[in-house]
Amino acid sequence: MGKLLHVKEIHLEALRNWTSLMLKRHFKVFSWFCFGLWLITMYAFVFRVSSGFALD
């Protein structure tokens, strides 16, 4: 029984570390995605302003 609990504890510890790494990667990718969308938005805004589009 002690061996089974030890294996369970090792497994839970590995999942805790894996989850932390996965969340860090996920948020890093999400941050770059949001930054890319922001750049596209700024480009579109500058293009519209420079081409004489009325922002009414």
How many domains does the chain contain in total?
1
**What is this structure's pTM?**
0.60
- At residue 19, the pLDDT reads 76
Q: Are 55 and 49 in contact (CB under 8 A)?
A: yes
- At residue 56, the pLDDT reads 65
The b/e string for 13-43 (b: 16+ C-beta within 10 A; e otherwise) is eeeeeeeeeeeeeeeeeeeeeeeeeeeeeee
In terms of residue numbers, what domain contains 12? Answer: 1-56
Looking up tokens 């609990």 gives 5
Q: What is the pLDDT along the chain (56 residues), one digit of tens a residue?
A: 778 888 888 878 877 777 777 888 899 999 999 999 999 999 999 999 899 887 66
Looking up tokens 């949001």 gives 34
Q: Which residues contact 49 (CB under 8 A, 6 or more apart)?
A: 55
